[in-house]
Homo-oligomer: A and B are copies of this chain.
Amino acid sequence: MALRGVVVVAHSGGPTSVINASLEGVVEECRPHPEITGLYGAIHGIEGVLQERFIDLFEEDEGIWPAIRSTPSSVLGSSRRAVTDSDLGRILEVFRAHNVRYFFYTGGNGSMDTAHRVDTAARLGGWEMRVIGIPKTIDNDLVETDHTPGYPSTARFFACAVRDVGADNRALPSPITFVEVLGRNTGWVVAATSLARREADDAPHLIYCPERRLPVDRLLADVEGVYRRLGRAVIAVCEGQLDETGNPFGADARASSRQPLAMNLGHTLARIVTERLGISARSEKPGLFGRSSAAFISTVDRAESRMCGAAAVRAAAEGMSGKMVTLVREPGQVYAVHTSLAELTMVANRERPFPAGWMNQEGNDVLPEFREYAAPLIGEIVPHARLRGVLVQRRIADVE
């Protein structure tokens, strides 16, 4: 017999450009279920649950959803609040008061831990409910799933950014340009900039993944090598990159915040190159734009994000709880995925690093195996048109 009650869906952590598509998937899949008596969106994630601040999603005009699907960032709002044990009690109290029997929590590995704790607390408290995690992170660092909704679109953004900055750098050599790429501890996004390349001299010329520490001397030798060959270099670095001593480069901006990040990485590296090699260098840091841009949404990503939202509702309707939806890549030449489920306990607080076997030995590029993995997720990165460039014969002998 179907469990009768209210659904709460909540977002956690950094928004992505497709998180609203998974919300749409939840809403669409809930609609035909008569046992779902209400569909609430928590305002600013778990904060909204704690403060009983919910939007009634059944009150929204049905025609709004196609636009919401393509809107980046969370239309519900999100939160990074770490859930305490006393919060858990409050959450259960709110769920009982509103007869919430279904909780869909959209987030990364920390959020899956929260979902697991809510699931456990409900069981121990004798409150029957279904808790299902919907995967979301641009970092692509969740285990048990082929990849994570949100990642392909941010990967696409940075591949296009490096392609375009590379075209600028070719036309008017800067000559050294760092592009700082999102990705907390893992190199999945920075690796994707490799998809910007078609010709041998295309950017990025160097790619560093934060799974390996980056000795400054190593970086300088790499940059100098590319510069000697091409007279320029575009380097993709990850915001989470650590130096040889395990410290972030130039991490001074967030000294007052809980989690210091290497917020000034690109600039710091540019300064080091300018000072040590005497070559002019600059840096670009699209930052949060890289996870919030409608223009670079991967259509595969959007469709899969929606699928994951819908699959969460189906799993809960079938009586499952304590699981996260996963994406399983089907074998074969043509890219296809289906959804499956993993135990929340298998996913919670675990991190999937970029595979060491997909990096080259020098640690400054990624291997074709990664390209095969990532290309179908990210979609085609159209190379820029170039002229054939038939040269006119010179007519003056004494050319410098």
Contacts and interface: CB of A to CB of B under 8 A. Distances in A.
Chain A's interface size range is: 35 or more
Given A52-B394, A68-B385, A73 B15 contact: no
Contacts of A284: 285-289
Contacts of A385: 64, 67-68, 70-71, 75
A29 interface: no
Contacts of A94: 396
Contacts of A256: 274-275, 278, 280
Interface in A13-50: 13-15, 38, 40-41, 43-44, 50
Interface string A52-91: 1111110111001001101111111111100000000000
Contacts of A40: 392
A302 interface: no
A15 B52 contact: no
A267 interface: yes
A327 interface: no
Interface in A302-348: none
Contacts of A247: none
Interface in A229-261: 252-257
Nearest to A55: B389
A164 B292 contact: yes
A171 interface: yes
A9 interface: no
A210 to B, nearest CB: 18
A391 interface: yes
A395 B168 contact: no
A208 to B, nearest CB: 19
A124 interface: no
A270 interface: yes
A189 interface: no
The 9 closest A-B pairs by CB, nearest first: A284-B287, A67-B385, A73-B167, A59-B390, A54-B392, A168-B292, A74-B171, A164-B292, A97-B395
9 contacts: A52-B396, A60-B388, A68-B387, A75-B385, A160-B293, A168-B291, A253-B281, A253-B283, A256-B274
